[in-house]
């Protein structure tokens, strides 16, 4: 039975930290499914279709990675639908750990067989968040070292001076 992992997130935008997590997970599992989730608490910069396209382009070098847009389903339910027994989560700091620990416990109430695997962020990615990347890009800052090139281009197109 193949080991399938689900990496859920809003990925708005997909960062180098996300990419590193996916690359590392791709060595641990037979298949990694990146689930572009809808977060009702967030106002998205990119729509789900665009996010899927950007993530597919950023991960095209990973043969065992698939990207799917997913909405209006609990993560635990969606994991079961796609045959994933593992959830991948990247941890940057103690706050992330506490949050993810609580989410993992809640997911276990929905599916006791669903295991959450926490991957610690490498030091060079531990400070990157999608929210901060959006803010930097909005005010014309340099994001090329924070996101994959395809995402940097999309941010420039969406938020650059010509977009006003």
Distance of alpha carbon 108 from alpha carbon 127, whole angstroms: 29
Please indicate if the annotation marks 100 as binding a ligand.
yes
The whole-number pLDDT of residue 43 equals: 84
Answer whether 42's CB lies under 8 Å from 10's CB.
yes
Q: Can 92 be counted among the known catalytic residues?
A: yes
Please indicate if the annotation marks 42 as binding a ligand.
yes
Q: Where are the alpha helices (DSSP H) in the chain?
A: 16-28, 48-58, 75-82, 94-110, 130-138, 149-159
Catalytic residue among 18, 26, 51, 134: 18
Q: Can 130 be counted among the known catalytic residues?
A: yes
CATH number at residue 62: 3.40.50.620
Task: List Cα–Cα distances, 1 to 4, 65, 67, 84, 116, in angstroms.
Answer: 9, 17, 21, 11, 18
The whole-number pLDDT of residue 41 equals: 76
Instruction: Tally the domains of the chain.
Output: 1
In tens digits, what is the pLDDT along the chain, a chain of 164 residues? 899 999 999 999 999 999 999 999 999 999 999 999 977 777 899 999 999 999 999 999 999 999 999 878 899 999 999 999 999 999 999 999 999 999 999 999 999 999 999 999 999 999 999 999 999 999 999 999 999 999 999 999 998 765 55
The whole-number pLDDT of residue 38 equals: 79
Please indicate if the annotation marks 51 as binding a ligand.
no
Q: Are strands 86-91 and 4-9 parallel, antiparallel or unpaired?
A: parallel
Catalytic residue among 24, 66, 80, 92: 92
Is 141 part of any domain? no
Please indicate if the annotation marks 98 as binding a ligand.
no
pTM score of the predicted model: 0.93
Is 164 part of any domain? no
The whole-number pLDDT of residue 163 equals: 54
Please indicate if the annotation marks 68 as binding a ligand.
no
The sign one gets for the Cα dihedral 66, 98, 126, 150 is: positive
Catalytic residue among 26, 51, 130, 134: 130
Answer whether 104's CB lies under 8 Å from 116's CB.
yes
Please indicate if the annotation marks 88 as binding a ligand.
no
Q: Can 61 be counted among the known catalytic residues?
A: no
Is 116 part of any domain? yes
Is 130 part of any domain? no
Q: Can 27 be counted among the known catalytic residues?
A: no
Q: Which residues form the domain of 13? A: 4-125
């Amino acid at each position: 039975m193949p080991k399938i992992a689900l990496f859920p997130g809003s990925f708005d935008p997909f960062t180098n930290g996300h990419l590193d997590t996916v690359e590392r997970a791709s060595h641990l599992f037979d298949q990694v499914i990146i689930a572009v989730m809808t977060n009702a608490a967030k106002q998205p910069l990119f729509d789900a279709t665009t996010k899927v396209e950007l993530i597919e382009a950023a991960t095209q070098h990973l043969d065992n990675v698939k990207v799917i847009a997913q909405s209006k389903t609990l993560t635990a339910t969606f994991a079961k639908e796609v045959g994933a027994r593992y959830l991948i989560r990247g941890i940057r700091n103690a706050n992330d750990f506490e949050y993810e620990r609580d989410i993992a416990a809640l997911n276990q109430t929905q599916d006791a067989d669903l295991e959450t695997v926490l991957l610690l962020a490498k030091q060079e990615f531990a400070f990157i968040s999608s929210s901060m990347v959006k803010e930097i890009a909005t005010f014309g800052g340099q994001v090329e070292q924070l996101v994959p090139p395809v995402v940097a281009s999309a941010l420039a197109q969406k938020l650059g001076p010509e977009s006003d």
